[in-house]
Amino acid sequence: MSAHKDRVVLAYSGGLDTSVAIGWIGEQTGREVITVAVDVGQGGEDLEVIRQRALDCGAVEAYVADARDEFANEYCMPALKANALYEGRYPLVSALSRPVIAKHLVRAAREFGASTVAHGCTGKGNDQVRFEVAITSMAPDMDCLSPVRDLALTRDVAIDYAERHGLPIETTKHNPFSIDQNVWGRAIETGFLEDLWNAPTKDVYTYTDDPTYPPLPDEVVIHFEQGVPTAIDGTPVTPLQAVQELNRRAGAQGVGRIDMVEDRLVGIKSREIYEAPGAVALIEAHQALESVTLERMQRRYKRQMEQTWAELVYEAQWYSPLKRSMDAFIEDTQRHVTGDIRMVLHGGRAVVNGRRTQTGLYDFNLATYETGDTFDQSSSRGFIEIYGMQSKLAAARDVRLGLGTGY
């Protein structure tokens, strides 16, 4: 298809802002709009309903994609292998979904002959950066547009526009929060949460039940093959099914609630509430299996790399050369991360209480203090002498120079 300079591909959620953006972009730029709706497990309306709404709101084409398995396999599983937690807590719920949505935006732009890609992000968040860097990393020839940021499409303008044009979208219901969700978790911000002293109220949460009054403890066995969950309680599962099942079971126990102030890429601090029951439980289990199967220095180095990997993904560098190189290292570490992890889900916690693997480095006969111990304790004296030699020499030098040892 030949290129159409008068076409824009818009990331479409089906909500008020992006529905209004269809006509708003047309009025402000004179271009036709093609919408792209991507299902990454966020739930809600059927894709076909969303597709028809886009057409009813003026889109010339409406592209929809069921990317749930793609998202779980190609984005959530690498994050699981990396034990990715931004600032040690946030499992990258929104950050992981942006690259896969951007991929479908670029794909649709190529298919329908558009040279510009649009999204509904504001000018003060992380997602504008994630979308645009991902898009230009895949398609450096494309331009990016944000109706909210670049064309002054504020919420009051959007409501007025929808009412004046009779768009088939709800405009009166006001949600005090900004919410983004997918199968990996749920992110909630703004509203009264912007006052750091305000505690979240019950209506903030959807993926998790109140951990204060949990049901009976739920014991689950997760089987991993090379770092990927492949069975739960003996039943084979796909990565998507594994996340969905742990969302259900861990969520019922209130696992995965996170209340944090994080450092945004754009330079501000932001209070965020997250729910990620499946992600939190799976990362806890995966870390436990790695503790048995990874060699000490390999595991130690990987822990350092995991922080950088999470920062790269959070900061819109999914397609960066550094992340690509780190992916290769992390994938290599997973060769022996195979086995079973048993954990108890209860009262907001996921606690590992059993590990079983044929590829681990734990040797019972070396570890035991009982009869049958095969560890040669006589070797330890010489080991300690050699291991502590440099510190001993340095201390002796300080004494010789009259500096003492500091103690």
Q: Which residues are catalytic?
A: 17, 98, 127, 178
- Which residues pair with residue 181 across a beta bridge? 186
Q: Answer for the pair 209, 197: CB distance below 8 angstroms, yes or no.
A: no
Within 13 Å, how many C-alpha atoms sit on residue 210's CB side?
6
Q: Are 12 and 18 in contact (CB under 8 A)?
A: yes
What single string gives the DSSP state of each residue in 168-187? SS--S---SSEEEEETTEEE
Q: 94, 125 in Cβ contact below 8 A?
A: no
In the chain, the amino acid numbered 95 is A
Strand order in the sheet with 178-182: 178-182, 185-189, 269-275, 257-263
| CA atoms of 362 and 200, how far apart (whole Å) | 43
* Count, residues in the chain: 407
Beta-carbon contacts of 370 under 8 Å, excluding residues fewer than 6 positions away, are none
